[in-house]
Amino acid sequence: MTEIKDILRTMDYGPAPEDAGIVTAWLERHKQGFGHFIDGAFTRPGETFAVTNPATGKALANVTQGSGADIDAAVKAARAAQPRWAALSGHERAAHLYALARHVQQHSRFLAVLESLDNGKPIRESRDIDVPLVARHFYHHAGWAELVEDEFPGARPVGVCGQIIPWNFPLLMLAWKVAPALAAGNTVVLKPAEYTPLTALAFAEIAAECGLPKGVMNIVTGDGETGAAIVSHDDIDKIAFTGSTEVGRTIRRQTAGSGKSLTLELGGKSPFVVFADADLDAAVEGVVDAIWFNQGQVCCAGARLLVAESVAARFETLLKARMDDLRVGDPLDKCTDVGAIVHPVQLERIKSLVAQGAAEGARLHQVGAPEGCFYPPTLVTEVAPASILSIEEIFGPVATLTTFRTPDEAVALANNTRYGLAASVWSENVNLCLDAAAQIKAGVVWINCTNVLDAGAGFGGYRESGFGREGGREGMTAYLAHPRPAAKKGEAALPEPDPSPAAQGEAKGIDRTAKLYVGGKQARPDSGYSYAVMGQKASVGLAGYGNRKDIRNAVEAANKAGGWGKATGHNRAQVLYYLGENLSVRAAEFADRLRSFGASKDAARREVETSVRRCFWYAAQADKFDGMVHQTKTSNVTLAMHEPLGTIGIACPLAHPLLGFVSTVLPAIAMGNAVVAIPSQAHPLAATDFYQVLDTSDVPGGVVNIVTGPRDALSKTLAQHDDVAGMWYFGSDAGCAMVEAESAGNLKQTWVENGAARDWTGREGQGRSFLHRATQVKNIWVPYGE
């Protein structure tokens, strides 16, 4: 028999099992199986599949496989309920969200135990992290519901939201999706993950218990086919998806041209950067939270440890010693650190990837783990940056360790990934931390902490980690819509211009062949062709016929102009003011050019004057479109910084050839982006004239690049280009669908709109919405007040 004096000497933990009796009794009451939760009530169970406890392999319950008819019924209920829900005052919606938060707290132990049984995560995590954050999200968004009319004037709900969530944080992901949607006045059709639907079904019971109106929240269980039915449903207005990057690409393609709003929170391969002056003991504990939290099944897990070479040996020794103390086992034991992998399929994937890495020469350090669906915490050393373990998201308790020598090398290694979800930076020098945070391409950066989450701050990624934010003001914005311009008669698809000599006709008036503008220099088109630019009766000049290589050259030039994004807003503003001054000086010349296309004298004058005003307006915004400090529960200053996307491709509107060009290019460069612009296909010479203004206004080479030619063919190339971070397209409906579909390769952000919809001469032609489209938010968590 172990005595107290022996325990005090060895400090060994005994078992501390959590009582699962209440949850077991609840599951027993539902032994006939769960139906879907539609229109405020559970349906009869249909064709079911088993949900198992990953720690034991035993069946917990049977849930219904959702069909297309089930999704139809859920969407119908959500559509019927949405006008009444949106018509409630913000205060009335807030009361429902407050009630949900309170009832989550009242049932917190039940939900924590059920989550650990269903998912395999340790009860300490579900009890102390997941469930409290669920309540926090409903409280926080109850506040947004109360304030929505004041804080988002003119906004309206999106409508019916289809939401698909993953299995790693089943209940927390539900809260992330449902709380802002309901606060904004939307209704929801949500599909939980196939492996882990039980807490969503329990939450449905809680919603009914709270008196949430029928049809406001609908939950349909099932596999990927059920999710696909949500994505493809014609009567859903928004899709919100959290899951793998590959599925995210598929959803991007499936929703292309549908007009559905879309947010994607996808995979990650986050760097965990340890500089030489870091508190190594704190950083080691940070690694535990970064990669062994939730068995490493975390999209923002710090899976790539990048450690300064001078301290790497000491860090590795400390980390291995800490690993040996990790307790892997029963998720319902309150002393367990690492629980079970969610499903045997995921376990086999982890094993396969690690085996491939070992075959490449990587060395593994692992601690013990029980038999069954468990995987030992693993540290991988001697791993190259090109190793599969450094590149692929493993989604398991596996971390790689790579050394660096300089801060620049650390940043380069951190950015050596196609993802951009999160990063963690460790140093006692806050200046070094903030400098690295500014350079790392990730939507969330934690300084001397990791995996800190709160409803008050946005969460989401860059690049192939998706787009859109969840939490905070940004997350609320994603569930609101503003009035969008609509065309009475949409723009039709354009035929490609004819570069043959016979098609160019007799030149009259101004006659010159305009070159492309790439890297601050005039450039002949690679094709060697030109096409006629027609006025009212005859050709008024020739424009270069750009092709794929010209786009490639322009993108390369734009990406080399990275210094523009690092310039201060004040400095960018001075350049834009200078642009406005120089355009004003040449106003008569530009008006003549517009008149040559057929514009009246007054219309030409007004278009130039409005273009000048746009220069000054965006110059004024360049140093005023600020970020903010989010109010979070943790001891952090959480900085929400607006950052440029990078290189943006812009297919400018067909009408208003000068004003359409200025109105789209200027907000992009005001925010620090570089641009590859395709000007009006019909009348591009106003834009090619404009590069003379660029040359005399101190705009650095490569910041604005102009490629003339067939709009849709050039737009397709830009949309497909992996070094283009955003794509704006103003043209035909078919072109809009094409751009969205082709952007799925690197999941670039898109803004597509029928070119005839917007009045570019009025208030619709400028605004802060353009600046939002030109930026992405990086949330930087800095310790404060600890």
DSSP 243-260: S-HHHHHHHHHHHTTS--
- 113-152 pLDDT, tens per residue? 999 999 999 999 999 999 999 999 999 999 999 999 999 9
Evaluate whether 470 touches 444 at the Cβ level (below 8 Å): no
User: Measured between alpha carbons, how far is 350 from 333 in angstroms, rounded to an integer?
Assistant: 24
Instruction: Give 192-213 pLDDT, tens digit per residue.
Output: 999 999 999 999 999 999 999 9
Question: Which residue pairs, CB below 8 angstroms and at least 24 apart, start in 45-52?
Answer: 46/70, 49/194, 49/223, 51/118, 51/195, 51/196, 51/197, 51/198, 52/343
Token pair listed for 767: 């605004």
Place of tokens 């009035």: 483
Residues 354 and 378 sit within 8 Å (Cβ to Cβ): yes
Q: Which two tokens stand for residue 243?
A: 């899951």
pLDDT of residue 539: 84
Tell me which of 562 and 765 has the higher pLDDT.
765
Residue 390 burial by Cβ neighbours in a 10 Å radius (0-12, 13-18, 19+): buried
Confidence of residue 87 (pLDDT cuts 50, 70, 90): very high
Instruction: Please choose, from the candidates 424, 421, 423, the residue with its C-alpha nearest in 3D space to the C-alpha of residue 460.
Output: 421
Phi, psi (5° rounding) for residue 186? -90, 165
In the numeric block, which tokens belong to residue 511? Answer: 């006659």
Q: What pTM was estimated for this model as a whole?
A: 0.93
CA distance 533 to 657: 12
Which pLDDT score, from 0 to 100, does residue 13 have? 67
Confidence of residue 720 (pLDDT cuts 50, 70, 90): very high
Question: Has 433 been annotated as catalytic?
Answer: no
What are the tokens at 344? Answer: 């045997």
Is the separation of the CB atoms in 380 and 388 below 8 Å? no
Cα–Cα dist 447/633, whole Å? 16
For the cut 80, the answer to whether the pLDDT of residue 3 exceeds it is: no
141 and 122 Cβ atoms separated by less than 8 Å: no
Take residue 81 and report the two structure tokens written for it. Answer: 């309920």
Q: Which two tokens stand for residue 608?
A: 């130039």
**Residue 562 pLDDT level (bands cut at 50, 70, 90):** confident
């004239």: which residue's tokens? 689
Mean pLDDT of 327-334: 95
Q: Which is the catalytic residue, given 265, 316, 470, 643?
A: 265
pLDDT at 374: 97
**H helix runs in 684-765, sequence order:** 685-695, 711-720, 733-742
DSSP 584-632: HHTHHHHHHHHHHTT--HHHHHHHHHHHHHHHHHHHHHTTT---EEE--
DSSP string, 131-197: HHHHHHHHHHHHHHHHHHHHHSTT-EE--EEEEE--SSSHHHHHHHHHHHHHHTT-EEEEE--SS--
pLDDT at 45: 95
CB 122 within 8 A of CB 338: yes
How far apart (Å, rounded) are the C-alpha atoms in residues 576 and 699?
A: 8
Nearest to 709 by CA among 506, 507, 549: 549
Q: Rounded to an integer, what distance in angstroms lies between the CA atom of residue 242 and that of residue 263?
A: 9
Instruction: Give the separation between CA 424 and CA 287, rounded to whole angstroms.
Output: 10
DSSP character at residue 130: I
The answer on pLDDT for 578 being more than 90 is yes
Q: Can you list the positions of beta strands (E) in 427-565?
A: 444-447, 466-467, 480-481, 513-514, 516-518, 521-523, 530-534, 539-544
Amino acid at 760: W
d(CA 34, CA 37): 9
Q: Which two tokens stand for residue 419?
A: 């993802």
Given a cut of 80, whether residue 6 has pLDDT beyond it is no
**Residue located via tokens 């039709």:** 492
3-class DSSP state of 636: strand
Task: Identify the pLDDT of residue 18.
Answer: 84
If you compute the radius of gyration of the chain from its CA atoms, what whole number of angstroms results? 28
Instruction: Say if residue 4's pLDDT is above 70.
Output: no
β-pair partners for 628: 640
Q: Say yes or no to pLDDT of 509 above 60.
A: no
Neighbours of 281 (CB within 10 A): 11
What pLDDT, on a 0 to 100 scale, did the predictor assign at position 762? 92
Q: For 277-293, what is the mean pLDDT?
A: 96
Specify whether the backbone of 747 is left (phi greater than 0), alpha (psi in -120 to 50) or beta. left
Confidence (pLDDT) at 11: 64
SS (H, E, C) 458-484: CECCCHHHEECCECHHHHHHCCEECCC
Contacts of 331 (CB under 8 A, 6+ apart): 55, 116, 117, 119, 120, 121, 122, 123, 339, 340
Q: Residue 671 in contact with residue 644, Cβ under 8 Å?
A: yes
* Percentage of the chain exceeding pLDDT 70: 97
How far is residue 570's CA from residue 592's CA, in Å, rounded to a whole number? Answer: 33
Q: Which helix (H) or strand (E) holds 677?
A: strand 674-678
300: which 2 tokens?
């923002």
pLDDT value, residue 320? 96
Rounded to 10°, the helix 108-119/131-151 angle is 110
Which pLDDT does position 506 carry in this prediction? 53
- Residue 48: its pLDDT value, please? 95
Tokens 């929240």 belong to which residue? Answer: 217
491 pLDDT higher than 90: no
Residue indicated by tokens 């992405």? 776
* Range with the poorest average pLDDT among 3-17, 35-49, 584-598, 700-714: 3-17
| DSSP string across 182-223 | HHTT-EEEEE--SS--HHHHHHHHHHHHHTPPTTSEEE----
Cα–Cα distances in angstroms (integers) from residue 418 to residues 176, 397, 461, 558, 656, in the given order: 25, 21, 11, 19, 38
pLDDT interval class at 507 (50, 70, 90): low
pLDDT of residue 505: 54
Residue 740 known to be catalytic: no
Eight-state DSSP code of residue 757: S
Round to whole Å and give the CA distance between 313 and 306: 12
1 — pLDDT class (breaks 50, 70, 90): low
The answer to whether 345 and 313 are in contact (CB under 8 A) is: no
Measure the CA–CA gap between 619 and 766, rounded to whole angstroms.
12
Select from 42, 39, 73 the least CA-distant residue to 212. Answer: 39
CA–CA dist 138, 544 (Å, integer): 56
Other Cβ atoms closer than 10 A to 415: 16
The CA–CA distances, whole Å, from 120 to 173, 331, 350, 443 equal: 16, 6, 16, 28
- % residues pLDDT > 90 (the chain): 89
Amino acid at 257: G
Q: What is the mean pLDDT of the chain?
A: 94
Pairing mode of beta strands 363-366, 156-157: unpaired
Task: Report, as an integer, the average pLDDT of 154-165.
Answer: 96
Q: What is the pLDDT of residue 487?
A: 76
Catalytic member of 299, 300, 433, 449: 299
Predicted pLDDT of residue 10 = 67
pLDDT at 2 over 90: no
In this predicted structure, what is the pLDDT of residue 440?
A: 96
> H or E element: which one contains 304?
strand 304-308
When mean pLDDT is compared across 62-76, 490-504, 584-598, the lowest value belongs to 490-504
Residue 705: enclosing H or E segment and its boundaries? strand 704-706
Q: What is the mean pLDDT of residues 267-292?
A: 96
Query: Would strands 674-678 and 516-518 be described as parallel, antiparallel, or unpaired?
Result: unpaired
